[in-house]
Structure 1
Amino acid sequence: MSLVLRMNMKKLHLNSQFTRYVLVGMINTLLTLCVVFILVNVFHVNILISNIFGYVIGLINSFILNKRFTFESKDDSLRSFAKFLIVFIGSFCISYYCGKLFAKLSFEFFKGYLLKYNESYEINFSILLTNVIYTLIGFVANKKFTFNR
């Protein structure tokens, strides 16, 4: 088998696993965002509390789907969950603070260009940005640490 063909097959495997991760992530993100947006915008719950609650629900969903579907792990569930929890907490903290910082900087920069500035724009943009950062960190950490075979 040629080197190029082997490299393409390896990329296909990685892309397939990443595609499954993204699919699980989309389902999980939709679930998490629904919880967070409803808590923030309907029930006026603090953004940090809303994020924590949304991410905990997402955490359970994400662990089950990623263990069985994405990474097809046969590892001990308790040990895997402990590692998954470490990745979750680290990813959450990094993404939450980076998301808030980037959103604040972005809105400070674009504030003059907006016809009507509302603090809720910044909060909602922060929620979306936090999810993107969390997803990227989570894939790499879970692939290399949690479900590494």
Structure 2
Amino acid sequence: MAKKWIDGTVPRFLLVGVINTLVGCGAMFLLYNLAHWSYWLSSAANYLLGGIVSFFLNKYFTFRKREWSWGQAVRFAVNVAACWLLAYGLAKPLVLQLLAGRSLWLQENAAMLVGMCLYTALNYLGQRFFAFRK
């Protein structure tokens, strides 16, 4: 059972994730902390920019899908949107409750970090078994 879930795609997905994180997460924290965008707009920009990078790297490098399909692109976009909404929707109230009484800046930055972790796990499963399924 574990072999079905953990194979050669996992290290490639994690490597793409590092690249994706540098692009998307960098934009998210810069937009939130320097441009003073909201929590939701900053995290959405992360996944819009990172999603574009992630789509092409995961399609061709991680899951080695060479053919082009609008279906894959649509499934990928649906997966990213669903994972983002779920991960960040769960992270924010959880962290706000855990860090009650702390500054909103700390709460929202921490929520974005927790949301990133939740998103990564959900996104891998969604890409592997939905967006780029065999």
TM-score normalised per structure 1 = 0.82
Identify which of 43, 66, 77 aligns with 1:85: 77
Aligned to 2:115: 130
**Structure-to-structure mapping, 1:52-91, within 5 angstroms:** 52-91=44-83
Structure 2 distance, partners of 1:75, 1:92, is: 26
- Partner of 1:74, secondary structure, is coil
Unaligned residue ranges in structure 2 (runs of 5+): none
Q: Per-residue deviation at 1:122? A: 0.6
User: Cα RMSD (Å) of the superposition?
Assistant: 2.0
Query: What's the counterpart of residue 132 of structure 2?
Result: 147
Say yes or no: does 1:49 pair with 2:41. yes
Q: Quick one: which amino acid aligns to residue 123 of structure 2?
A: G
Q: Which amino acid aligns with 1:118?
A: S
Superposed displacement of residue 53, structure 1 = 1.6
Q: TM-score normalised to the size of structure 2?
A: 0.91
CA distance in 2, matches of 1:77, 1:22: 24
Aligned length: 134
Runs of 4+ more than 4 Å apart: none
Normalized per residue, which structure has more helix? Answer: 1
1:77 Cα shift? 3.3
Structure 1: 5+ residue runs without aligned partners?
Answer: 1-6, 112-116
Shift, 1:133, TM fit: 0.6
Residue of structure 2 aligned with 1:119, choices 101, 104, 111? 104
* Equivalent position SS for 1:38: helix
The percentage of counterpart residues that share the same residue type is 27
Partner of 2:20: 28
Paired letter, 1:68? Y
Q: Measure how far apart 1:75 and its partner are.
A: 3.7
